Structure 1
Amino acid sequence: MLDELDRTIIEILVDDARISLKELSQKVGLSSPSVSERLRRLEEKKVIRAFTVDIDPQTLGYNLTAIVRVRPLPGMIHIVEKLIQETPEITECDKVTGDDCFIGKLQFRTMQQLDGILDRLAEKAETNTAIVKSSPVKRRLPPLA
């Protein structure tokens, strides 16, 4: 699906999404119009979904992270999903198979804040929470080859 130049462009952008088109072109050895066209095609194919910024939650005072497994009570799955979507401290969430329906990642400042979030969920779901001690693998792309 991707050729070597596309993989190189993506790897450079993952490292620095703010790189100028001129500098990106120089790094891959193509003209700016050629790189621009490749970027357009990668966006059209939805290989590149967005150019974004990576912010460290700790710099905003969110020094604690938790992983929460959520099992909605009978008949509550859609209500719980909406509640999860409306909770800004839940920064990631996947709907999964197995005993739990959702696995979410929460960023929070205090244990009291975590308790408040979990209390809102507890009315409609069972939860199981683990506090993150460290993240030996940060979010990354799978191999591009």
Structure 2
Amino acid sequence: MPDETDQILIAALMEDSRRSLKALAQISGLSSPSVAERLRRLEERGVLTAYTVTVDPKSFGYQLQAIVRIRPMPGRMHAIERLIQAIPEFTECDKVTGEDCFVARLNVRSMEQLDAILDKLSDQAETNTSIVKTTPVKRRLPPLKHYATTPEK
């Protein structure tokens, strides 16, 4: 489990993954070499898996985002999974429990493009699609610190 200093570094990188070692050292109170060593260990342990850039799909013409619940026809689960993976407009997909097998996020330029993509799935799966209006909570980590709760008296 990452200690408090590791959590400070992780939180700082979540805010801006381009922060320099010098900036991270100032935030954490460590030296730059110590920060580099901690980051290396976090990477080796699989705590830090990537340093990313977030891009707004609208800047590339993807005006609509949809959440698609997908229920493959019997015996078609693996084929649908491969099809979802092959369609680049699907930007996220989770295999889930319940009536649907997949919940996927799809970015498209138009309703016509959405229809064309869903048509590719229609002979092998049932879909239920919702258009995203806004995203009040962007992708984020759960709280890093474990807070002990005590019952109120």
TM range (shorter): over 0.9
- What is the rounded CA distance, in whole Å, between the counterparts of 2:27 and 2:123 in structure 1? 54
Aligned amino acid, residue 57 of structure 1: P
Q: Which residue in the other structure is 2:128 paired with?
A: 128
1:14 corresponds to? 14
User: Partner of 1:22: helix, strand, or coil?
Assistant: helix
Q: Which has the larger radius of gyration?
A: 2
In structure 1, runs of 5+ residues without a counterpart are none
SS in 2 for 1:51: coil
Q: Which residue of 1 aligns with 2:34?
A: 34
* AA at the equivalent of 1:33: P
For structure 2, the residue ranges without an aligned partner over 5 or more in a row are 146-153
How far residue 91 of structure 1 moved from its aligned partner, in angstroms, is 0.3
Equivalent residue number for residue 102 of structure 2: 102
The runs of 4+ residues in structure 1 deviating greater than 2 Å are none
Query: Identity over the aligned pairs, expressed in percent?
Result: 62
| Residues 1:66 and 2:66 are matched in the alignment | yes
Greater alpha carbon shift after TM alignment, 122-131 vs 24-33: 24-33
- Aligned-partner residue type, residue 120 of structure 2: R
**Residue 53 (structure 1) aligns with:** 53
In the alignment, residue 106 of structure 1 is paired with which amino acid?
Answer: L
C-alpha displacement at 1:26, in angstroms? 1.6
The structural deviation recorded for 1:60 is: 1.2
Q: 1:94 aligns to what SS in structure 2?
A: strand
Task: Give, in whole Å, the separation in 2 of the partners of 1:62 and 1:144.
Answer: 33
Could you list the per-position Cα deviations for residues 2-58 of structure 1 after superposition, in whole angstroms to 9, with x for gaps in the alignment?
Answer: 211111100110111111111211221111111011101111111111001010111
- 1:68-94 Cα distance to aligned partner (Å, 9 max, x none): 000001110000000000110000000
Q: What RMSD, in angstroms, separates the aligned Cα atoms of the two structures?
A: 0.7
Letter of the 2:96 counterpart: V
SS at match of 2:83: helix
In the alignment, the residues of structure 1 paired with residue 21 and residue 123 of structure 2 have an alpha-carbon distance, to the nearest angstrom, of: 51
Residue in 1 that maps onto 2:93: 93
Equivalent position of 2:150 in the other structure: none
